[in-house]
Amino acid sequence: MKKAIVIGASSGIGRALALDLAKDGYSVGLVARRSDLLAELKEEIGAAAVVRVVDVRQAGENLGLIKDLAGELGGLDLVILNAGVGHINNDLDWEKEKAAIDVNVSGFTALAGAAYKYFEGHGHGHIVAISSVVALRGIGASPAYSASKAFISNYLQGLRQKGAKAKLDITITDIKPGFVDTDMAKGRLHSGWQARSLPHVRLCRRLSEKNLMRMY
């Protein structure tokens, strides 16, 4: 049985991916901040799920998370880094900018680095991160959010180069969705611009399974 960890599993793309993986026979580590939603997801998946309530913003406290959860799962094949925060911030309110940096930059970096080190030590693995199409161009209404997504994409490029140089069997996949119909995306654009979550997630799964580097 394959093993996966989904960071940011309580809602949206992360939740749908966790359910999809469980249906495909994976044991799944579910990681998020909202314990009530994680409990509901755990109940839906059943015994194949292991839950960790984690605040990704506490980056330094989460460095051992991947290793500990992999031990409980009995191994690890796939880590999906999906946790993210974004705000419309026309006034450049510092707290909103900081929230995006804390989760999408600091929190992501701690967990992506920990996942890479785990797979480096075990000789193989697959890291998938959900960045965004806004990584390609800054957005005036959400400058920290779009910049943080560009950071994610560039960090993944660095990990990919690092693994290739060391000739490691570690696949790094950067998925750049457009605007998906999830709670976080509501209000960003008119609904006609948004993709429904479940079909979009299935496309993400197909692309990551084919080991493609990025999806636009």
- Distance between CA atoms of residues 70 and 49, nearest Å: 12
Cα angle 21, 22, 23 (rounded to 5 degrees) comes to 90
CB burial class (10 A; 0-12, 13-18, 19+) of residue 132? buried
26 an active-site residue?
A: no
How many residues appear in the chain? 216
Which one is catalytic: 116, 118, 145, 155? 145
- Distance between CA atoms of residues 180 and 200, nearest Å: 8
Strand ranges across the sheet with 214-215: 49-53, 27-32, 3-7, 78-81, 124-130, 169-175, 214-215
Taken in order 128, 45, 124, 212, the sign of the CA dihedral is negative
- Distance between CA atoms of residues 121 and 163, nearest Å: 12
Give catalytic residue positions: 145
